Structure 1
């Protein structure tokens, strides 16, 4: 019921705001499809002023799970300041904090024609820094969704598209029995839709030999 109310609330915001809208990013086969005890936040795309971003967090309750609804047309450069603001608010909640409450990006899961969710509670965004590519560590650099490179300590680079990303990571992880660490490195011009596409694909990775870092890097 609460998930349905959130969906209706999202439609209300989209329909009743003359110059604001939220088009949710689309994924196929979400790992998380049901969340209870929620409150929503919205990051709007302004069609009349394309560089304008507005965060509406009036409905947030600090002790609940937060569903963050972000317009898929925004770039990471546009959306990140608001995302980080929300993270800092939750992490600094103090005595009102609920340790079990999480933050989720809301998506339109086309496979079930309903909402799907991606957990970003523990993600830490770092801007204009460089991922560690020492022994056993790889930087997955996303220039755009169809232009991705994997860098390692020996400067090996694999150019690929998002459809090939999972196979490439799993092959690297299975090349030896040692644990491989992968860090995501996104161009700030990547759209939120493309960001969610990559995140959704990686959520389906299953291997004991790999770890995806919670530290994500954003470069200009």
Structure 2
């Protein structure tokens, strides 16, 4: 308990300067305890050009990383720092620990304590927005036409997540599953087993909303849906 209390204090203070960091909130986190850790902080700081201030001087390559991101930041502000730290760890040549993981620190409101969301294997990239004018059925048909699928496969599908649809993502994925029943009408020789979902996030989405979406997606238990490790920010 003393360790947890100390960690909460550290999320609010850094380098002997008082800085308030508002952790994103989560419910029923799958991970509530992480040992052998070192922290990093991405503060919301309006005095900086990009409104962020990164403190990573206490990070140790061989430990599990707890990355504390202020929930008010947008993805365009926070992700470059997160990607920078990931690349440092992945490209380390000495003292590397393959078992060390990366977590976002959150406030788990269901238990009144800290919860953690792992992102070790996530690969962030910046990209152009996806074309949302093509509906899913047309996209599936296009992939089949271009021989981008075998006779029994998971189709790789982009999922656009914005401030406007972030609360409906679970329903949208359910509609994907329902479409599987129509796959034979698209191609008699094709059996679509499910979808591998690449996530595309609107860059102006807050880090709080990002964590909320990621938490919901982590709770989807379906053999028809695979959330890939590819996340694109536009």
Question: Could you say whether these structures have the same fold, taking a TM-score greater than 0.5 normalized by the shorter chain as the test?
Answer: yes
Residue 219 (structure 2) pairs with residue 218 (structure 1): no
Q: Deviations over 1:18-63 (max 9, x none)?
A: 4x32100011111111111111000011155584211101111110
Report matched runs for 1:1-220 at 5 Å.
2-13=3-14, 17-18=17-18, 20-48=19-47, 51-129=50-128, 134=143, 136-144=155-163, 147-148=164-165, 161-162=166-167, 164-173=168-177, 175-176=179-180, 178-219=193-234
Residue deviations 1:194-219 (CA, integer Å, cap 9, x gap): 11111011010101111101111111
The 1:178–1:211 alpha-carbon spacing in structure 2 relative to 1, beyond 3 Å, is same
Contact 1:170 1:207 in 2 (8 A): no
- In structure 2, distance between residues paired with 1:50 and 1:197: 27
Answer with 1 or 2: which has the greater Rg: 2
Structure 2 SS opposite 1:194: helix
What TM-score do you get using the length of structure 1 for normalisation? 0.83
| Structure 1 residues 203 and 41: alpha-carbon distance in aligned structure 2, compared to 1, 3 A threshold | same
| Unmatched 5+ stretches in structure 1 | 149-160
CA–CA separation in structure 2 for the residues paired with 1:200 and 1:142: 14
**Is the 2:40–2:55 Cα contact (8 Å) retained in structure 1?**
yes
- Matched residue of 1:108: which SS? strand
Q: Deviation at 1:171? A: 4.1
Evaluate the alpha carbon distance shift between residue 130 and residue 137 of structure 1 in structure 2; reply closer, same or farther with a 3 A threshold: farther
Name the CA shift for 1:174/1:206 in 2 (closer, same or farther; >3 Å): farther
Query: How many pairs are equivalent?
Result: 202
Separation in structure 2 between the aligned mates of residue 91 and residue 166 of structure 1, nearest angstrom? 32
- Using structure 2 for the length normalisation, give the TM-score: 0.78
Aligned to 2:184: none
Distance 1:35 1:174, change over 3 A: farther
Q: CA deviation at 1:8?
A: 2.9
